[in-house]
Amino acid sequence: MNGRSLDPENWRKVRPADFKRACTALYQARPEGSLPQSTSWWERQLDLLFPVLIGVLLGLLPTGWRAAVDRGARDATALRQAFTEFQRSVTAFLASGDDREVAVRRAELRRQLSLVAAVRPSWALVRGLTDRLDRQEPLGETSFQGWRGATDAYKEETRKKIDDALSAYAKELDRLALALTRPLRGTLRRGRA
């Protein structure tokens, strides 16, 4: 008052209306004063548990996302490696005519594709890549039989078909591998990777 400070007791005696108005404003600003007193036990528990549940969910989302990304990366790497080995065996076959390694590598690539199909059964690209390995030509088993007794013209024509098929297969497999590393996206169902 007049530049002097008053303690609360003297302020209440000297200016009771100002003191009451300040106390009322402070009381109404308190969080407990603004909450209704008629909340049930369940509502109070929900008020406490809701932020905890949100925190748990927010903690699990990045963990689940990271696990999905890691699994997709592992699957994509295994798939690419199986295809690379298959491609090497086909190249060796074209040079030597020995088809035993091709059959082993085709089976491994088919196995990797079946693992992906188990996780992503709705992806038609996985089924399409598997079907191409099971067809008769150009990546099917019959393309790699009877090579030693074949004419040079037949070998050249078959080599071109196989090279073209491997190139197209590699592009589709890369598209699949990329989609595996991007979880929670339906990219293959919409036709994009």
Question: pLDDT of 10-28, one tens digit each?
Answer: 888 888 898 888 888 877 7
**Sequence-distant (≥ 6) Cβ neighbours of residue 113 within 8 angstroms:** 79, 126, 129, 130, 133
Structure confidence at residue 58 as a pLDDT band (50, 70, 90)? confident
pTM > 0.85: yes or no: no
Render pLDDT for 92-151 as a digit per residue (tens, 0 to 9). Answer: 988 888 788 988 999 999 999 999 999 889 899 999 999 888 886 788 777 777 777 788
pLDDT for 116 equals 93
On the question of pLDDT at 33 being above 60, the answer is: no
* C-alpha to C-alpha distance for 106 and 124, rounded to whole angstroms: 19
User: What confidence tier does 67 reach under pLDDT thresholds 50, 70, 90?
Assistant: confident
> Is pLDDT at 191 greater than 70 in this prediction?
no
CA-CA-CA-CA torsion for 75, 106, 173, 125, nearest 10 degrees? -90
Contacts of 173 (CB under 8 A, 6+ apart): 79, 80, 83, 129
User: What is the share, in percent, of the chain residues with pLDDT greater than 90?
Assistant: 31
Domains of the chain, with CATH numbers? 73-180 (1.20.1440)
> What pLDDT does 193 receive?
44
> How many Å apart are CA 4 and CA 8, to the nearest integer?
13
